[in-house]
Structure 1
Amino acid sequence: MSEKLEAQVRQFTVDADDDGIRLDRWFKRHLPDASFNLVSRWARTGQLRVDGARADPGDRVATGQTIRVPPADTAPPSARPKRERAPLTDEQIEMAQAMVIHRDAQAIVLNKLPGLATQGGTRTHDHVDGLLDALSFEREDRPKLVHRLDKDTSGALLLARTARAAAFFSRHFSGRSAKKVYWALVVGVPDIADGLIELPLAKQPGTGGEKMHVDEENGQPARSRYRVIERAGNRAAWVELQPHTGRTHQLRVHMAAIGHPIVGDGKYGGQAAFLTGGVSRKMHLHARRIRIDHPDGGKLDITAEPPAHIAETLEMLGFDPALGNVPFDDSPPPATREVKKARAKAHAKQVRKERRGERRGRGKS
């Protein structure tokens, strides 16, 4: 490299907010014009270095390290300019800030409203991600989402206020050390009051990936703990749920698979998921509590009060809210008979499908 080109090489020092993040994430945050392919090429040719050593995009950086980046004129301009976000209305700002139930230097916890999506998508214009500008408070940058809740699921949603906190929380979510407790009302009462559901899940064909189902052959492992808190005769039960894995719609699919769909969840429970007698048709699934290590030490342990429709149903059925505050139990029980029956049913369905395929194949020969 010529002396002139070497003089144009840029040096950056990793600050505390970026401690522990991957190098490709550092580029996305600080040099977004450098595409992943370009960064990978720099790495392959030895032009990308951290503290003088060759680096790869997947390497993690630490506070105080020096990142050597090739000259700026080798980076192509962005394919398209970033679209400016529309300013929030006073009503949107008020709604966003009213959801805050915890705030410190590194984290914000919201009690997300039911019916509010976490992120935008096709025909989804109202979402938490679009409200984050209202939650900057004393900081200049907006907080970051580190996990999601379904649109119709209410409750505790964690936001990171710094890049360092975002990387920290993401590691704990991916490592499954973050603990979440949900409250749900389900149709009927499970035979066993404390059970573990182990049924693999996959995207259901023909639904565009918008619906999941139990798939013993090709599904990803999924484990959910449930405990019955109270029951209303044989009509319904109030249960505590703890997901031990993080599959899409996991709790909803698992409860429906053992014959006890979540009240209001017509997507997985059909008409059987709706109770009569004035019970709300909204989904009765609430992220009650989240517990996770805090970037500054100690634990973040926050509970979120249920929304009006769930609180009203609990009262209508005569349940005592104080009974729902049970301690975490990290030692799951064995799989229940209901789970074994559901697993056998899914396996039989798969066998029937394969046999139909064999018969069709013989007919063509």
Structure 2
Amino acid sequence: MSIVMSQLIHFVDQALVVAEKPAGLLSVPGRLEENKDCLVTRLQQHYPDVMTVHRLDQVTSGLMLYARGKAMQIALSKQFEQRQVSKRYEALVQGLVEGESGEIDLPLICDWPNRPKQMVSVELGKPSLTRWRVLARDAAAQTTRVELEPVTGRSHQLRLHLASMGHPIVGDVMYDAQPAVRVCLHARRLGFVHPLTGATLEFASECPF
């Protein structure tokens, strides 16, 4: 296994793999040939039975869980569906957020003419809930560092919810942020129950921005 790949893996056994996705790398293959490179295909070069359980946006970095084999994929996917997986993200957003914590409850739906962009739709959107907590404020830079808990798992949920607050994630030009080196969103913590042993596993990843 290459040094680069070994640095991406947090945990591996006969049931699952926990890996670190770099910002800019796809979680799963895209339709076009130039978008075939992704984290799951890289993992499959070393563990051919690896299968996708969930996804992160291409712009997002951080922890991802992959199953080894169909039975483990079903078991782990069920934990996501039943909201038994603990997920925490860290983001740097534009502006100084008022208050110390709160919830964003806005229904989301795909903005089809502009996909993959999502939009808020009270009439047609799916229920979407994000809990947030301020970690730090930088008055000089006019930014706020926040911890995020996505209670639901809609596409672009954290990105659009924060933009809807008037505080888009730094670098997220899709949702009206100013350009930056990267979109400052990182999957920092991941917790779930091992499908074979029943043990609770918790993983952490240092925020790179």
Structure-1-length-normalised TM-score? 0.54
Structure 1 partner of 2:206: 305
Q: Which has the larger radius of gyration?
A: 1
CA shift, 1:94, in A, is: 4.5
RMSD value, Cα: 1.6
**Equivalents in 1 of 2:99, 2:76: separation in Å?**
34
Q: Which runs of 5+ in 2 are unaligned?
A: none
How many Å apart are 1:168 and its aligned residue?
A: 1.1
Contact 1:120 1:127 in 2 (8 A): yes
Q: 1:102 aligns with which of 11, 14, 20?
A: 11
| Structure 1 partner of 2:62 | 155
Question: Which amino acid is the alignment partner of residue 304 of structure 1?
Answer: S
Q: CA deviation at 1:283?
A: 0.6
Contact residue 94 and residue 177 of structure 2 kept, 8 A:
no
Aligned-partner Cα distance in 2 for 1:103–1:189: 40
1:118 matches 2:27: yes
The residue aligned with 2:78 is 171
Number of residue equivalences: 205
1:222-233 matched pairs, under 5 angstroms: 222-233=128-139
Aligned-partner Cα distance in 1 for 2:200–2:9: 18
Question: Which residue of the partner structure matches residue 96 of structure 2?
Answer: 189
Higher relative contact order structure (alpha carbons within 8 Å, sequence separation ≥ 6): 2
The TM-score, its normalising length taken from structure 2, stands at 0.92
Q: Which runs of 5+ in 1 are unaligned?
A: 1-89, 275-279, 311-365
Q: Distance in 1 between matches of 2:98 and 2:44?
A: 47
Distance 2:22 2:146 in 1: 20
Structure 2 residue aligned with 1:143, among 8, 29, 50? 50
Distance 2:185 2:45 in 1: 26
Letter aligned with residue 41 of structure 2: G
Identity of aligned residues (%): 37
Q: Which protein has the bigger helix share? A: 1
User: Given residue 118 of structure 1, which amino acid in structure 2 is its aligned partner?
Assistant: S
Cα distance in 2 for partners of 1:248, 1:100 equals 25
- Larger strand proportion of the pair: 2
- SS in structure 1 of the partner of residue 134 of structure 2: strand
Q: Is the 8 A contact 1:132 1:142 kept in 2?
A: no
Q: Is 2:191 aligned against 1:291?
A: yes
Give, in whole Å, the separation in 2 of the partners of 1:294 and 1:97.
21
**Residue 241 in structure 1 maps to residue 142 in structure 2:** no
After the TM superposition, which parts of structure 1 deviate over 6 Å for at least 4 consecutive aligned residues? none
Q: In the alignment, what sits opposite 2:40?
A: 129
